[in-house]
Amino acid sequence: MGRNKSLILIKTGIFKGEIKLEKQDAGSSELLQLVSFTIGREEFGVDILKVQEIIRMIEITSIPNSPSFVEGVINLRGRVIPVISLRKRLGLERLEHDRNTRIVVVDLSGRTIGFIVDSVSEVLRIPASTTEAPPSLVAGINSEYITSIAKLEDRLLILLDLDKVLVEEEKQLLSGV
């Protein structure tokens, strides 16, 4: 890793497939705390405050007549949670799940929803100054889902706005699950 003093990376112990996230004060309004994950060859980040936990893939029960990007529901410690394929929702090609596939459980406007991702990388703390507005199309993904692009030392991180990944009607449909 280079010597870029403005970039602070904090890796959490990602082991045995589950990550419990501690929400920490970033200490400065200039720092963004993100959970990074991959879908295909692209790396994405989401606000850590929206993430409740990250779990390994578990059995998903399908829901008849649901949108194609809705994989179904899971039972997470007695709670029924709808699960969405973020890959499908973003219009990316389908890929079989493997041992690295994870479900990122998030809070969207008071609704708990799981998003399937290819793998979870790390927890990052980055200066807001490393981000810039996205172009109209990034990695084949419509920019309406993207808040910004972060330029890290050796890679780009696409920051997603999970609240915009689902429209209000879809959120309400999923909350009835």
2 is a domain residue: no
Q: Which tokens go with 153?
A: 């030392």
1 is a domain residue: no
3 is a domain residue: no
Which pLDDT does position 134 carry in this prediction? Answer: 79
44 is a domain residue: yes
Looking at the 3D structure of the chain, how many domains does it have? 1
48: domain range? 8-175
Q: What is the pLDDT of residues 15-53, one digit of tens each?
A: 444 444 444 444 445 889 999 999 988 899 999 999 999
Confidence (pTM): 0.77
CA distances from 82 to 9, 45, 98, 116 (A): 31, 21, 20, 11
132 is a domain residue: yes
Tell me which residues of the chain have a pLDDT lower than 50: 1-28
Which pLDDT does position 172 carry in this prediction? Answer: 65
Which pLDDT does position 153 carry in this prediction? Answer: 83
CATH code, domain carrying 72: 2.40.50.180
Which pLDDT does position 165 carry in this prediction? Answer: 81
Contacts of 39 (CB under 8 A, 6+ apart): 86, 87, 90, 92, 117, 118
118 is a domain residue: yes
Which pLDDT does position 20 carry in this prediction? Answer: 44
